[in-house]
Each structure stands twice: as C-alpha cells, then as structure tokens.
Structure 1
Amino acid sequence: MDRRTIVLTGASDGIGAAAARTLAAHGHRLLLVGRSPEKTRAVAEEVGAEHFVADFARLEEVRTLAAALRERLDGGLDVLANNAGGIFGAREMTEDGNEYTLQVNHLAPFLLTHLLMDPLTAGGGGAVVSTSSIAARYFGRLRMEDLDNARRYSSRKAYGDAKLANILFTRGLHERFHERGLGAMAFHPGVVATNFASASNSVLRWAYHTPLKRLLTITAEEGGSNLTWAVEGTPGEDWDSGVFYDQRVPARSLNPQVLDDVLVDRFWEASAERVGLTTGPGARS
C-alpha cells in the first residue's frame, strides 16, 4: 500500500490510539489530534507521529487546529478520520451556543472537514472517514426545530442524534464532492470496551463499565482494526462512498432519516450556519 498522509482525531485513547499504532506500523504519515495534551503526546511519541491538541467543544480551537494542520500538509491530505466524539451527561451548551454532544461529535468535525477540503481534494482522491454508531438507528431522531434537544433531552438521545448526524454528513459529502474525487463513508466500529460513556448517565454506561462488558463488547484493538480498515480502504473498491457500514459491511438496517434527501440538505445548511459558514462546503449537485 502507498504511504498515505492521515489526520486522525480522537487519537489519544481507545480505537483511535489502537488504529494509530497499526497505521504507523504500516508506514503511513500520521497527524494525530486529541483533547488531552499528555495522552495525545504519549501516543504520538510511541508511534513516531506529529500531534495536535484541540477541544472540539470550542470551535475557535477547531479553526486554530485546521490552520496548524494546513501548514503541515504541503503535499495534500489523503484521509481525514473524524473519530473524536463521545456520549456525555447532563445537557450542556458550549460557548458557541450548541448542545455539547452535537458540537463535539458533529459540528466540530463538519467545520474541520470544510477547513481541510482544499488539501483533501488537491490530489483528486482524498477520503473522509467518520466514526458513527448503530446508536443512530436505535436512539437518533433529528428534529430540525430542536437540534439542541431543549425539549426532550437525554444523553442517549443526544448521542444517537449526533451519530445520525455523522451519517447524514457522509451522505452530504458524497453528494457535493464525489465528482471531485472525494470519498466519504461512516462506520460503526463495534461495541468497544474503552472508557466510552464514562461521563454519561445513560444506561449505556452500565454496558461499558460493569462486568456486562465482557459479554457485550470487543477490544479497543478489534475496534481499531475496523477504523484502520476504513482509513486504508480505497473508495469504490473496499467501501462505497456515501454509505454507512456496520463494522466492515454495509448496514442492513438504517434509521429512516438517513434516506431523507431533503433532511440531508436542510441539516447540512443548518450545520454550516451553526459553525459560521455562509454556505456549506460545496453545493449539492
């Protein structure tokens, strides 16, 4: 496999760190992004990668991150792996005016992808890989009039909405940029035994942080291998652009909102407005 330049967010722990180790061993150039300076630096030093720190709860830090990454991407960017995210506790608004879960899991990656679109499409064959979840099917239901879940908040629903947002974003990217050579996919890595949901008050916390996890979860290395597969995959050969995968196969059961073309466009425009873009990254073809 040719050496690729890869930006990997959420790289300081869990499947991100596991994938970083494998991708580095395969000889790729990695630019790792994490929220914790100490943990991100430790993984980067272990695998011989560059590292950057940003808190996705602050969009200004995403803009600063993108500027720093662009300075390091003279030869273009082959893959942007939007892997950062999580499920959280009580409803909280960010300083940017967005519900915390939605911003960290979707709006920040939406903005970062836009700001890195030039290096992604410079060679006519970049890819955007988004770590989503089957929670999109079970818990997600986006309401355009209440994207911040002010009316009926639960940490589980907020997470399901955000993971559904990842899939809608993938569809939007495909529709707008596939003709320029960009591939976009979202995938569920499996139910992985990491510190995921540790800050949540959701029932999911009990599945991940009690003895039940031995029965219900896979290891971070197994989940990381699914992320590695997506990142190293070639659009049109290993996976199809615009599609949501359950681990390594197209998901058989989808949230009906995934197939709503009108919603894909409305949500794209709403996301662009929330991150301060006058128009989204690209117009629908």
Structure 2
Amino acid sequence: MSTPRVIVVTGASSGIGRETARAVAERGDHVAVVGRNPERTHSVARECDGEAYVADFDRFDDVRMLGEQLLARYDRIDVLVGNAGGLISEWKLTADGHERTLQSNVLSPFLLTQLLLPRLQATAALADSAPGTVRVLATASMANQWGKLALDDLEWAERPYRRGWPVYAAAKLAVVMWIRELAERLTGTGVDAYSVHPGTVATSFGGTSRLVRFGNAVLGGHWGRSALSGAEPLIAFSSTLPMQAPSGTYFSRFRPFGGTGAQAADPALRRELFDLLAELTGVGPV
C-alpha cells in the first residue's frame, strides 16, 4: 500500500481553502488544515479526517511555529497550497510591524514556503514521487495586472491606501513575481511552483470592503462564483495530474500565462523582490 500524499492547505478554515481541503481528502490524500480561527479550523479538519493547525499569518511567530509543527509531524510534504490572505480596507500594522495586506498575502506565505522547502525537496527525491508532482501553489488574483510595486514602500506608508485595493493588487503582483523567481531558484530540485487566480469568488474575501459589501447587496449575495468552483484549479493542480505549463507560470483559473502586471516581466526586479522578502522575513540569503 502506497504512502498517502500530504497536502498542506493554508487559509483552509472557510471558502475555497475549505473546499480544497475537502476535495483533497475525498481523493485519498492526507490534508493538513491550516487556519486562523481555531473552531472552524478544527471543524474542517474533522470533515476531512485531517489534522488541524492554527496559525495567524499576522504573526511571524505563529508561522514559524506552524513550520516547526509540520516538519515534526510529516516525513513528506507533497504540495503546499498557500491560500491565506485577503483584502484589508484600512492601513494597519501587524505585531511584526508590517502592513497587514503585505504580511498576510506575501510575507507570511513566503516565510512558510521557505521553512517547508527542504521537506518538499526531500519528498521530490522519494522513489514514489512522480516527477513534477511536488509543488508550491500560491493563490494570486487577476488584480495583479493593476498592481504597482515600489520596493522602497512595500508597506504602503507613502502612497494613498484607497480602501486597500491598490495594496491588494500590488500584493498579488508580488505573489506572481515571487513564485516565478522561486521556480527559477528551484530548477533541478524536483519542486515546481505556480501562482493561480481562482476567479472572482463569493466568499468572506474583502469582508471589510464597502465596495464588496455593496456588490453583494446589489446582487442579492450572488456576486462571484461559488467557493467550490473557485477551488477547482487548486484541487486539480494539487493532484498528480501533469501541469500544462512550465514551473513559474501564472494561471488564470485553468488558463496558463494569464495577464500579469508589467513589472512581472522584469527578472532583475523579481530577484530584488525575492531577496527583500527573505530579508524582511528573517530567513536570510536564499
């Protein structure tokens, strides 16, 4: 009997993360359910016959503890599905002194990925790991196309916040760029990396945004696709099905090479961003 694949899903206490975790379990993989809300996270883990891990991505200490727990528990990690994050409508700092949108969408996912990379690489070297099936998946957004990165103001302290929309777009552009650079640095390791736009999903995303609340009110709560529909790309890409594009690709749902902000095409800027993220998260040179 083969060893079950292990899939780590962050942001899994609700929405597309929950649907991804449930589908992963239904196909026979073991799922590590990561969420911020203890009650909901444990509830989803019970639904999935998986294991719950509670971590607040607004706190690096939580992310580091999560990494330690996952490495201590699992001898193999086949896929990391990074789905934590969201839209924050007011400029606030985390306990670590970073703007919340930046930390939850970019810094903490980057930190967790770097902590788990040695185990992902070791899994790729196992005899029962088919080539190309060990992956890092990061939830991005079509909003990345309108993102404008300023490496000297990632915290958005010097630019208009505008209810968080330009900040969110820039954060998702940073995800696309970080994943593309990560894929370059993982060449030859057996670990691939992709960023994915799940579609416009009617979940708790943007719950603090007046624009999102208005859209839901006007459309009677039917704004966007269902959480299950939104989860479909993450469900498919976390399986052993072959990917239809090279590592580093940004997918707009199932379509590879989706639209990206102009800065994503700048390899020097991608390298500079990656090194800055490593510095800000304290992982050191990568």
Does TM, normalized by the shorter one, top 0.5?
A: yes
TM-fit CA distance, 1:199: 1.7
Which residue in 2 is equivalent to 1:39?
40
Q: Determine if the alignment matches structure 1 residue 27 to structure 2 residue 57.
A: no
1:162 is paired with a residue whose SS is helix
Which one of the candidate residues 150, 154, 178 is aligned to 1:147?
A: 154
2:204 is paired with a residue whose SS is coil
TM-fit CA distance, 1:208: 4.5
TM-fit CA distance, 1:210: 4.1
Which residue in 2 is equivalent to 1:122?
122
Q: Determine if the alignment matches structure 1 residue 10 to structure 2 residue 18.
A: no
Instruction: Give the conservation status (yes or no) of the 8 Å contact 1:233–1:239.
Output: no
Query: Residues 118-166 of structure 1, C-alpha deviation per residue, up to 9 Å, x if partnerless?
Result: 110003352100011001113x110011111112223001111111111
Q: Distance in 2 between matches of 1:210 and 1:4?
A: 43
Q: Distance in 1 between matches of 2:122 and 2:180?
A: 21
Which residue in 1 is equivalent to 2:273?
267
Which residue in 2 is equivalent to 1:85?
85
Q: Distance in 1 between matches of 2:105 and 2:67?
A: 17
Which one of the candidate residues 217, 240, 255 is aligned to 2:261?
A: 255
Percent of pairs identical after alignment?
38
Q: Distance in 1 between matches of 2:13 and 2:151?
A: 33
Which residue in 2 is equivalent to 1:67?
68
Query: Residues 243-273 of structure 1, C-alpha deviation per residue, up to 9 Å, x if partnerless?
Result: 0000001144221111110110110111011
Q: Distance in 1 between matches of 2:245 and 2:40?
A: 31
Structure 2: gaps (5+ residues):
125-131
Instruction: Give the conservation status (yes or no) of the 8 Å contact 2:142–2:259.
Output: no
Q: Distance in 2 between matches of 1:212 and 1:250?
A: 32
Which residue in 2 is equivalent to 1:225?
232
Instruction: Give the conservation status (yes or no) of the 8 Å contact 1:79–1:231.
Output: yes
TM-fit CA distance, 1:224: 1.4
**Runs of 4+ with deviation above 4 angstroms:** none
Inter-CA distance 65–252: structure 2 relative to 1 (3 Å threshold): closer
Instruction: Give the conservation status (yes or no) of the 8 Å contact 1:197–1:208.
Output: no
TM-fit CA distance, 1:211: 1.4
Inter-CA distance 243–224: structure 2 relative to 1 (3 Å threshold): same
Following superposition of structure 1 onto structure 2, how do residues 205-220 of structure 1 map, counting pairs within 5 Å? Answer: 205-208=213-216, 210-211=218-219, 214=222, 216-220=223-227
Which residue in 1 is equivalent to 2:188?
179
Structure 1: gaps (5+ residues):
281-285
Q: Distance in 2 between matches of 1:233 and 1:244?
A: 18
Q: Distance in 2 between matches of 1:2 and 1:194?
A: 34
Which residue in 2 is equivalent to 1:242?
248
**In angstroms, what is the RMSD of aligned CA positions?**
1.7
Report the residue type matching 1:173 in the other structure.
Answer: L
Aligned length: 275
Query: Residues 211-266 of structure 1, C-alpha deviation per residue, up to 9 Å, x if partnerless?
Result: 1653x51111101122101211545x444310000000114422111111011011
Instruction: Give the conservation status (yes or no) of the 8 Å contact 1:194–1:208.
Output: no
Inter-CA distance 110–169: structure 2 relative to 1 (3 Å threshold): same
Q: Distance in 2 between matches of 1:115 and 1:234?
A: 26
1:266 is paired with a residue whose SS is helix
Instruction: Give the conservation status (yes or no) of the 8 Å contact 2:173–2:260.
Output: no
Instruction: Give the conservation status (yes or no) of the 8 Å contact 1:40–1:53.
Output: yes
Query: Residues 10-33 of structure 1, C-alpha deviation per residue, up to 9 Å, x if partnerless?
Result: 000000111111111100010110
TM-score, normalised with respect to structure 2: 0.91
TM-score, normalised with respect to structure 1: 0.92
Which residue in 2 is equivalent to 1:283?
none
